[in-house]
Structure 1
Amino acid sequence: MSIRIPKGLPALSALETEGVMVMDEESTVYQHHRPLRVGLLNLMPDKINTEIQFARLLGATPLQVELTLVKITNHAPKNTPAEHLASFYHDWSDIKDQKFDGFIVTGAPIEMLPFEHVSYWDELTRIFRWTQTNVHSSLNICWGAQAAMHYFHGMPKYALDEKAFGVFRHHGLKTDSPYLKGFSDDFNIPVSRWTEMRHTDIPSDSGLCVLIDSPDTGLCLLNDPKHHALHFFNHIEYDSHTLADEYFRDRDAGRGIRLPRNYFPDDCDTRSPRNQWRSHAHLLFANWITQIFQTAPADPGRIGNDRVFPPAVEMKHVETHAPSSLQGPAVQRIEMASSS
């Protein structure tokens, strides 16, 4: 139907050009059901493009969504103008007393760092715990998904011998899941990460259900009913050219990046890539929003009131299992690129 975004957000012109119905904060709401409130904790360096990517998918769903942009308190990202952050973002500490129907935690380019070494890890764990009482349903993306799985289930991450980078075939494993309604049996999803989590580390009593995986890149989407969350390890929200932008950025910086697999036509990086995942991205977000609409309390003040919060699993001594080829300079490269 439409998405309500902060007045003046740069995403407005891009979304209107694509035919997404957009309203700003001052527009009058003309529907019987209240708008669904969705928060976006944006940890990505390119915040403006990330805003567009998620707003595009949320705005194409059948229901009206009100988007709130959130950032880590007292963390000053280096790649986004301070004026943009001041105009459109809320510190988490300023909105933590509010209730949200949905909450998204994005990826972040810090995956080679142990979780507990991330400068804002303490606040992020407070946010994850807060989602259990103030959020009806969470959607954690890429590093955000790994961080949530580590916090809630104690799962470690493992460094890959080379970056999982490209567009890979995936399979839906639970066709009866409401989150996979309308999905094909197999489909393409962009992947861009240096680390992975593994099936064998899923605790037997966790209640986690694997919804999507790939024979090439492993786990992709898990349903976590105990924590009212979905954990998505890849980047179905990416634009057609996002992988290309990452590739040319790293190549030009001399980081030795390989050509993204199954992405450029005939593996020719001078040709425009074809988007092979757009329809399933819209399906996933439409299914998530529809599920929220069907299950969230009509009174947002009741969100989380009847929950018993499962304790987090403490894994303070678990570190990233990095092969020697990814220690030293590789870790330094990630840290240099990690300013969100």
Structure 2
Amino acid sequence: MPIKIQNDIPVKEVLEKENIFVMDEDRAIHQDIRPLQILILNLMPLKEDTELQLLRCLSNSPLQIDITFMVPASHHVKNTSISHIQKFYVTFEDICREYYDGMIVTGAPVELMEFEEVDYWDELCEIMDWSEKHVTSTMYQCWGAQAAMYHFYGIQKRLLDHKMFGLFEHQIHKRKIPLVRGFDDVFLCPHSRHTEIPMDELLHHPEITVLTDSDEAGFFLGMADDGRKVFVQGHPEYDRMTLDREYKRDLAKGMEIAMPENYYPDDDPEKKPLLTWRATSAALYANWINYYVYQVTPYDMYGTPDFR
């Protein structure tokens, strides 16, 4: 699938070297089709790393996708250059009258704060409410999933007694749901978090369908409103070395951190980790795009002002 991005966004060169079909604006404008419009609210501190990870994941589909990156206007970005943000990102005010086929809300390194203490919380709530009528399906990831479950259902995140950090086995509970089509009975996925969405709380919300979980890591994947909301408490988008970078970064800061579980061969941090979750990640994003975005989105979004 060609991913349509801006001509000079830095991750374009990396994606092309990985043989991922990236279409620039000049070529896309001459194609007589309507690409899927996907909005990505990037709350992660290292914006370019997350851009690259998500664009890789979205590349495994025959559909053309037009990507728009967004940041909260109410938050001061510290770890990405202002010039990059100004050139390649929009704010909610810029797009609040638009309609999108899909949206991704990423995780954020604010999980130890109360939701209301996050400086962009009010803006995020406004965006989540806006998505109910302006987006066909929204995928909430990691802290984004916790935030959405709190906002829509009042489910409070729970502090863990140790960081959930590493690769963990998961199992499927609802195999006939298209979102998990192609998944193995047991699959691995990365986690990196200090809090969780409590499984016992989810049992009180039949409107949320739990699709997969882990005996060690707990809830991983679920959905509500027939797939208009998808919740991913984990990081299927992570690349091979992301957990390695997190681990060695925290070690260099003198922080107490355990080695990521089930990640390094022979638990040796000098050995290159095996990439064992890429197929699952590709299936998840392809299924979301196909069954919950493309198959149900109206061709003329502006002629359908209310998706409900």
**Same-fold call, TM cutoff 0.5:** yes
Deviation track 1:30-74 (CA, whole Å, cap 9, x = no partner) reads: 666410000000000111010001111112212100000000014
Q: 1:8 and 1:262, CA in 2 relative to 1: closer, same or farther beyond 3 A? A: same
Q: Percent identity?
A: 41
**2:149 alignment partner in structure 1:** 149
5 Å-filtered alignment, 1:188-203, equals 188-202=188-202
Q: Structure 2 vs 1, CA of residues 161 and 205 (structure 1 numbering), >3 Å: closer, same or farther?
A: closer
- Preserved CA contact (<8 Å) 2:134 2:307: no
> Which amino acid counterpart does residue 237 of structure 2 have in structure 1?
E
Per-residue deviation, 1:305: 1.3
Instruction: Give 1:255 shift.
Output: 1.2
Maintained 8 Å contact 2:35/2:64:
yes
**37-46 vs 59-68, which moves further:** 59-68
Contact 1:170/1:212 (8 A) holds in 2: yes
Amino acid at match of 2:99: K
Partner of 2:100: 100
Match of 2:275 in 1: 275
TM-aligned CA distance change 1:207 to 1:33, over 3 Å:
farther
Cα distance in 2 between the residues matched to 1:61 and 1:168: 26
Is residue 182 of structure 1 aligned with residue 185 of structure 2?
A: no
The residue that corresponds to 2:171 in the other structure is 171
Aligned partners of 2:116 and 2:259: how far apart in 1? 32
Aligned to 2:294: 293
CA displacement at 1:304 relative to structure 2: 5.3
Contact 1:41/1:71, CA 8 A, preserved across alignment = yes
The 8 Å contact of residues 40 and 67 in structure 1, kept in 2 or not, is answered as yes
Figure out how many residues of one structure are paired with residues of the other and give that number. 307
Which residue of the partner structure matches residue 229 of structure 1? 229
Secondary structure (helix, strand or coil) at the match of 1:262 reads coil
**Do residues 245 (structure 1) and 245 (structure 2) align?**
yes
In structure 2, what is the equivalent of residue 52 of structure 1? 52
8 A Cα contact 1:132 1:227, kept in partner: no
Distance 2:194 2:205 in 1: 28
Moved more, 92-101 or 20-29: 20-29
Change (3 A) 1:206 1:128: farther
Q: Alpha-carbon deviations, 1:197-246, whole Å to 9, x = none?
A: 11211264551000110000100011111681101010000000000000
Alignment partner, residue 134 of structure 1: 134
Aligned position for 1:38? 38
Q: TM-score w.r.t. structure 1 length?
A: 0.87
Shift of 1:254: 1.2
Which amino acid in the other structure matches residue 216 of structure 1?
Answer: E
| 1:66 corresponds to | 66
What is the distance in 2 between the residues matched to 1:166 and 1:236?
12
Closer, same or farther: CA 31–171 of 1 in aligned 2, 3 Å: farther
Higher relative contact order (CA 8 A, sep 6+): 1
Whether the aligned pair in 2 keeps the contact of 1:4 and 1:22 (CA below 8 Å) is yes
Query: TM-score normalized by structure 2?
Result: 0.96
Instruction: Rate the CA distance shift 1:239–1:96 in 2: closer, same or farther, 3 A.
Output: same
Question: Structure 1 unaligned runs (5+)?
Answer: 308-340
For structure 2, list consecutive stretches of 5 or more residues without a partner in the other structure: none
Deviation at 1:75, TM superposition (A): 2.1
What is the rounded CA distance, in whole Å, between the counterparts of 1:72 and 1:218 in structure 2? Answer: 29
For residues 303 and 58 of structure 1, the distance between their equivalents in structure 2, rounded to whole angstroms, comes to: 25
Instruction: Name the CA distance, whole Å, in 2 between partners of 1:192 and 1:303.
Output: 39
Aligned to 2:15: 15
